[in-house]
Amino acid sequence: MINEVVKALVKQGHQVVVATGKPNYPDGNIFPGYRANGVQRELFGEQTLIVRVPTWPRKHGGAKNLILNYLVFVFAGMFCLPWALRGLKFDAILVYAPSPITQTIPAILLKWIKRAPLALWVQDLWPESLQATGFVRNKKALTAVGYMVYWIYKGCDLLLAQSKAFIAPLNKYANLSKIRYQPNSFPEQSTEALVDGPAALLATLENRFCVVFAGNLGQVQALDCVIDAAELLKDHPDISIVLVGSGSKSEWLAQQKRERGLDNLELPGRFPMQTMPSIFNRAGALLVSLEDDPIFELTIPSKVQAYLAAGKPVLASLNGEGAQVVLEAKAGLASPAGDSAALAANILKIKQMPSDERDTLGRQGKLYFLEYFETESQARHLAETLSAMGKGKK
């Protein structure tokens, strides 16, 4: 998503420099062509400079590697970025902040060195998400993280909330006057330079009613609920659930498919983004799911925007803001998080709809997307917000 925002900002005439680590997500290994140590520079497109600092790769997971991944970026950013970005002046600094929030710390230092206002685009709430995922359970540790979050937010001039439901939790650690709503976006898909998906998968999509989930296959995606729903639908051989992607639950999913005999569950793996439109276009419906936890009620998963953009019916197996968007857009059906019976019932319901009704759901979702989530308009709004922040600091 953030890549598309950068492209849109550059297209609109802005100069953008990206400071980040070495790519190693989601597999945990540094991508070919990169090395963990040293500062590397490259161009994104023809105009955007990317500066990459040393990185500890996530490897195969575990608390140790994750913590080192977080800490190495903080210290590498603080020591390397002031030198790597020397001579460059900035009107504003923006941190795009999925976990960890600690990635903001080098930006706070840059704010003072560059004398530029700092905005933090909050994608994940800390310490709430640490508690929800079980990564941190100790109450004293969570309190300490809360103090760190307060300090980080205090060092920012503006906090951008990816959902309206984020505003109240952010207000616990920051003044309401510095919080603005800035939803995530997704580009309207062009038919140019798109690539067809693999033939075997496309054949399955064309010959069955397929419910497609695309993205990270991890703990918070409530995949146990999806598996249970697939088992409930075993007597409907014309329906398949297709999980496109990879993640920490990939092996578990393959094991469940074997043990439960789920011939209606497809695990084709991960594919380049260019292939996703061809997969989405052949899907009967698109699925988004999250765990049943209060923290996830506040977020709009980024795949919601991608699904709306595809103009296909959406099945939301989640609570709160994400489900509300789907219902408000009149783009599909929603069921409570973790309720596999309700999800299976909604899959059957949407499958049994006349095709013109499903088409109407897709069109309504696309119209909602164009009004609220399209990248070009949202990037323009973001630039205006950052510009106003800069003028306010002068």
Q: Say what the pLDDT of residue 146 is.
A: 94
Taking the domain 199-372, which CATH number applies? 3.40.50.2000
> What pLDDT is attached to residue 191?
46
Q: What is the DSSP letter of 30?
A: P
Q: Is 245 left (phi over 0), alpha (psi -120 to 50) or beta?
A: left
Structure tokens at 278: 């061809």
DSSP 176-243: GGGEEE----BPPPPSTT-----HHHHHHHHHSEEEEEES--SGGG-HHHHHHHHHHTTT-TTEEEEE
Report the first-to-last Cα separation within the chain, whole angstroms.
31
The domain spans of the chain are 2-185+374-393, 199-372
Crossing angle for the helix pair 321-328 and 355-372, to the nearest 10 degrees: 110
Q: Which residue has the tokens 């899959």?
A: 347
What CATH homologous superfamily does 2-185+374-393 map to? Glycogen Phosphorylase B; (3.40.50.2000)
2-185+374-393 matches 199-372 in fold: yes
Task: Tell me what pLDDT residue 390 has.
Answer: 67
Which tens digit of pLDDT belongs to each residue from 165-198? 999 999 999 999 999 999 998 887 654 445 666 7
pTM of the predicted protein model: 0.80
For residue 269, list its beta bridge partners: 244
Q: Identify the pLDDT of residue 370.
A: 94
C-alpha–C-alpha distance, residues 135 and 393, integer Å: 37
Which stretches of the chain score pLDDT less than 50? 191-193
Q: pLDDT at position 133, please?
A: 73
Closest CA relative to residue 142, chosen from 153, 131, 157, 155: 131
Q: What are phi and psi of 224, to 5 degrees?
A: -65, -35
Beta bridge partners of 28: none
